[in-house]
Chain A
Amino acid sequence: MPTETPTPVGDAPAAEAISVTHTYVGYGLKVKALDGASLSIARGEVVAVVGPSGSGKSTLLFLLGGLDQPEEGTVRVAGTAWGSLNGDERARFRRVNCGFVVQGTALLPQATAAENVEVPLLLDSVDPAERARRVVEALDRVGLAGEGAKLPDQLSGGQQQRVAIARALVSRPTLVLADEPTGNLDSATGQAVTRLLVEAAAEGGAAIVIVTHDPKVAAHADRIVEMHSGHLNSAANIGATTSSPSTGAAR
């Protein structure tokens, strides 16, 4: 079991991408997804990344979460560069400092809602009593206090995303990365889930990066970053666009 987890630097930004270039390879395609992109996310800040399909949004998200390594440039989370860590160190660092909410099926189908939330803590060998307390707390926070024993296929799509949010936040991460978290949900449920994500992250002081096509979801962000052909749109990158700042940094 893991014994050492890389320690984040105290006053560093939640996440930084500096001059990142990356080529996406998949399905027989080779596309330059990011071309010298840079981005800094303050602690507690909510950033929405928008842009057309294939513009490199998801690539940026996975690079920020350390699931991929850039060909050029540096990506840091809480002051620690992913490139300085080896495979297992990255995994340990990620489960403590990053929470992922992915698009589509995000839960382990064989695990109950509570067990899904418990996964990062189990992986980190957190004490069972502490684990149980934090799982209950996380489910309570997303409004699923009585649903812990249900399997994912017994939950609605919105409930499943709430469980995914609870899992992303249960280890109190510095950064939450959400890839189209409302993609499979109707508009009202999507709004509710986004609101929940932003509020719950704010309670824990986590910064959020949301990749989305939906302007209503983006409207919850402190800042909107637009991507186009692997480049970040600097104009959108500069200022917050939301009328009602929801997070610490914006406030």
Chain B
Amino acid sequence: MTRWLAMQSLRRAPRRLILGALGVAFPVAMLAATLLFLSQAVSSMTQIALAPVQVEQRALATSLNVNMTDVSKQLATLPGVSHVDRFASASVFVHTPADPGGASARLFAVDPQYLQDHPWVQAVSGSLSNGALLGQTLRDYSPAFGNAKQVTITLPGGGGSLKLPAAGTVDLRQALPTWFAIPAGDVQGDVALVPRAIVIPYSTFEKRLLPAIVKKLGPTTPVLNPGLSDLPPVSLEAHISVDHNAYPSDPAAAAVWSGALRHLLERAPAPGSIVVADNAAEPLTEASADATNAKILFLLLGIPGALVAAALGLAAQSALAEAQRREDSLLRLRGATEAQLARLAGLQAVFAGVLGSIIGLAAAFVAVSVVEGHVAWQNVSSGGILFAVLTAVGAGAITTAVRLFRLMRSSRGADVIAERRVLERGWRPLWLRAYLDIAAIGVGITILVINILAGGLKLTPIEAAQGTTLALSFYVLLAPIALWIGLTLFVIRIMLAASRRWTRPERARPLSSWREAALRWLGRRPARTGVAVTLGILAVSFGTQVVSFVATYASAKQADANAAFGSDLRLTPGDPLYTLPKSLGPDVASVTPIRHVPARSGTDRKTIVAIDLATYPNTATTQPQMIAGQGIQGLLSDPSGVIIAQEIATDFGVGVGDNLPLTIFPDDQDLSRNVNFHVVGIFRSFPPSNPYSEMVVSTAGLPPYSAPRPDFYMARDASGHTPDAVAAALAANPSLHKKFAAQTVAGMTLAAPRSLASLNLDGLKQIEAVGAGLIAAIGVAVLGAFLVFERRREFAILEAVGAERSQVIMGPAQEGIVTVIGSLVIGLPLGLLLSLLSVRVLGLFFTLPPPILTVPGGSLLAFTVLMVVTCGIALAGALVGVTRIRAATTLREP
């Protein structure tokens, strides 16, 4: 019977069902879309974190008698392992027939296949199969090496003479993070910048040099020394490449999986024969922290949308309350019991909830697919999808439950007329009586004050740039949400108080026009408009906040990228021996070389950036951000000056004016020198900050013979030229063709990008902004539905006393217009204010201090137009509904 009644009521009142389902669909859609974006973003973080990792796992032999050929074969069979390459390194002397004295160098031994598997090692000329490949810096060491056709390799202190043809030249600049990293145990050690290197086939090394090394050092010599601060005399390794698709998509799970794989690798060969360094662990752990922050960021942007959508659902329900009461009263008259009515209401609510959840999930999947340009479930784990679906459906169920509770409570109301009076006049909702607005504002301010007093909300860019985990307490993010709700309700409180005062019946002034009368009457019963304006303000301020925050995030990201890049163009010579010509033509205004100089202070290895003071200031497009002392000016006035990063100042306990003794070229027996620098300044950021700048000196301040060849050049375009156009022009210049790579900030993938900075929030912004606009419009539609459903008798009375059509719709039109204008006038500035606050709260994400706020005029205009148009359509629909009310029918209703 109840089921039959439920079906009948659904059939007879489909609009009620649709409105009820929409009330559930909106929060479900908003939450599901947010969570799908979040899953996609988090999943992509694992791949972004792994991308710069050259060798995911590095197996180090613990002694010279370990057969790495057998070990490699064993490791290659393990699940997830893509391929394993043998690798060895040793400190040697290299001689040529023309230079019997030779030079110290680091020998690397790999199979020719290694160069195929790892393109970051490039043979500039020749082939490893035919003999030794000389590193470019070894070729540059002397003409004897530059023109060498044959080399002889010996061990330090004598022994093991290996003659090999000099088959070509190899570029090892990209191999520094792996080949030159000190094998320090289960974690990767510092990079030791050995200036000269030679690469030979592993088989040659194994057969002809390793026996001599073993003979010299002894077969059981431990070659691994945990905590090693220098390169060992010899290392035997297996470089294990892991299939990136084998990692779990969540970075935290991926880090755990990687650690488990490391243990598995260590146990595969004879126990104790190898130690495995997990090179993927650190970036994955970092990405895991970033993922946590991304979740916070997405929830900050997404939760308010779901909240306001849920509020919309409840408002929609209240618009239907009167119709529900009437139906329940009728059924009571016909003998229905309270239990039957409760079951009926439950069935109707469940039906609306299920339908709304299906519509909401479908809308979320469609919206995310459209915005992303691919199906929403692509790149998302099944767990991620399940979580999004279940959470969103859970939100829908909660909305349905609250709706059902209110519906049943209102249908049991003893005095419907009295309730209606309260609703219509002297509206004092629970939040108003409980001072929820004041409480929310208080909570928001308290959170912020506590956080500021605790030292929060401060930028820690250097730690962030170096991969330190960003700590952002979740509760801090409650501040903007609390203030968003509190300020909105507070504004409504003020509006209600003002309207109550302005429209007091006992002090009513003579009316001047019908328009004024309609406005006064609106002020006397602001409940419905109040609800609609509240929804509208929440929606508009939320949309504005999202749009402005994302624009500011994009600006800050661009500023970070610009600071990391430092100039319009970066010119990287294809051959490190290549010297850039003095002039690169009219398109390029200036060029400055950037050199990286290895240094050591105690056991700490650091990198010094050496700049050319004559050309740097005119070429850099981003200014250094100084914390103390002087920048370029300090280096100009003190040739021995050094400006240091904030972290260096902290770690070394030095400040401006202090001496900073450093050993430069610590791994080069020829060039190694102790130099005493004077700290002249401390910086927050010094462009180019990618690779990270720890210390900056003038090239002129280095010992005269020690300035290395530039690692790359920064270049500035001539005015009126764009970087892309200049890069294209340089690439097309026949005299410069293929001599160097010209990169722009847009085209360059910066080394080791923070996965958080790579988040693309545009899709989420679009969906949230459209959702906010629609929520405001549905709010107006709910208001319209209420007007048509509940005030039909008033409109009929007006028609009976002679109101024209335009006069009948004057009141509802004013209510709609007040809703739209009120939502915009209050919601826009409130949204900007909250966005400003959110930027401060999330400022930790950026290396440079983010801009105060980037107001995207175009996006905000589009958002406003969308909101006004959709609200206009909803209002027009409501007004048409009002004009269709037939007085002759309505006035017969009891």
Contact = CB atoms under 8 A, between A and B. Distances in A.
B508 interface: yes
Contact of A104 (B798, B889, B894): B894
A73 to B, nearest CB: 16
Contacts of A123: 514, 801-804, 807
Contacts of A59: 888
Contacts of B729: none
Which of A2, A108, A110 has the largest number of chain B CB atoms within 10 A? A110
Interface in A77-116: 87-88, 91-96, 98-100, 102-112, 114-115
A128 B510 contact: yes
> Which of B794, B886, B888 gathers the greatest number of chain A CB atoms within 10 Å?
B888
Contacts of B425: 109-110, 151, 153
A179 interface: yes
Contacts of A58: 891-892
Given A26-B889, A149-B505, A67 B799 contact: yes
A250 interface: no
Contacts, number: 114
A21 to B, nearest CB: 15
A128 to B, nearest CB: 6
Binding site of B, secondary structure by majority: helix, strand, loop or mixed? helix
A95 B889 contact: no
B449 interface: no
B510 to A, nearest CB: 6
Contacts of B803: 91, 95, 119, 123
Given A62-B887, A149-B506, A149-B508, A111 B802 contact: no
A122 B804 contact: no
Given A87-B805, A88-B805, A123-B807, A106 B887 contact: no
Interface string A33-65: 000000000000000000000000011001001
A100 B511 CA distance: 22
B14 to A, nearest CB: 15
B797 interface: yes
Contacts of A87: 804-805
B334 to A, nearest CB: 16
Contact of B801 (A1, A2, A109, A120): A120
A122 B505 contact: no
B524 A110 contact: yes
Interface residues of A, number: 50
B517 A111 contact: yes
B754 interface: no
Interface in A102-157: 102-112, 114-115, 118-120, 122-125, 128, 131-132, 149-151, 153
Contacts of B521: 108, 110-111, 115
Contacts of A91: 799, 802-805, 807
Interface string A191-231: 00000000000000000000000000000000000000000
Contacts of A150: 505
Contacts of B805: 87-88, 91
B800 interface: yes
Contacts of A114: 508
Contacts of A153: 421, 425
A112 B887 contact: no
B111 to A, nearest CB: 87
A142 to B, nearest CB: 16
B793 interface: yes
B513 interface: yes
A65 B800 contact: yes
A162 interface: no
A124 B802 contact: yes
A126 B459 CA distance: 67
B88 to A, nearest CB: 91
A108 B808 CA distance: 12
Nearest to A113: B505
Interface string B488-520: 000000000000000001101011111001000
B424 interface: yes
B802 A120 contact: yes
Contacts of B894: 104
A94 B802 contact: yes
A94 to B, nearest CB: 4
A99 B514 CA distance: 19
B804 A109 contact: no
Interface string A5-47: 0000000000000000000001000000000000000000000
Contacts of B799: 67, 91
Interface string B780-802: 00000000000001100111111
B799 to A, nearest CB: 7
B196 interface: no
A96 B802 contact: yes
A172 interface: no
A109 B511 contact: no
A122 B891 contact: no
Contacts of A94: 800-802
Nearest to B524: A110
Nearest to A132: B510
A80 to B, nearest CB: 14
A136 to B, nearest CB: 11
B884 to A, nearest CB: 12
A56 B887 CA distance: 16
Contact of B505 (A105, A112, A119, A120): A112
Contacts of B891: 58, 62, 67, 102-103, 179
B16 interface: no
Nearest to B521: A110
Given A105-B793, A110-B424, A112-B508, A122 B798 contact: no
B564 to A, nearest CB: 63
Interface in B423-443: 424-425
A1 to B, nearest CB: 8
A112 B505 CA distance: 7
Interface in A157-209: 167, 171, 179
A106 B797 contact: yes
Contact of A108 (B511, B797, B802, B889): B797
B525 interface: yes
B517 A88 contact: no
Given A67-B888, A110-B525, A179-B891, A115 B800 contact: no
B595 to A, nearest CB: 80
B511 A122 contact: yes
Contacts of A128: 510-512
Interface in B404-457: 421, 424-425
Contacts of A68: 886, 888
Contact of B802 (A92, A102, A106): A92
A150 B798 CA distance: 20
Contacts of A103: 891
Contacts of B892: 26, 58
Given A67-B887, A109-B424, A179-B891, A151 B794 contact: no
Contacts of A1: 514
Contact of B804 (A2, A111, A118): A2
B794 A108 contact: yes
Given A111-B517, A112-B508, A149-B506, A62 B801 contact: no
Contacts of A120: 801-802
Nearest to B506: A149
| Residue of B797, B806, B886 with most chain A CB atoms under a 10 A cut-off | B797
Contacts of A132: 510
Among the interface residues B525, B801, B888, B889, which one has the most CB atoms of the partner chain A within 10 A? B801
6 contacts: A2-B804, A26-B892, A92-B802, A102-B800, A104-B894, A115-B511
Listed from nearest, the 7 A-B pairs whose CB atoms lie closest are: A95-B802, A62-B888, A68-B888, A110-B521, A100-B800, A94-B802, A91-B804
Given A62-B887, A94-B801, A125-B514, 19 more contacts: A62-B891, A91-B804, A94-B800, A95-B803, A99-B801, A102-B800, A103-B891, A107-B797, A108-B794, A109-B421, A109-B424, A109-B525, A111-B521, A119-B517, A119-B801, A122-B517, A123-B802, A124-B802, A153-B425
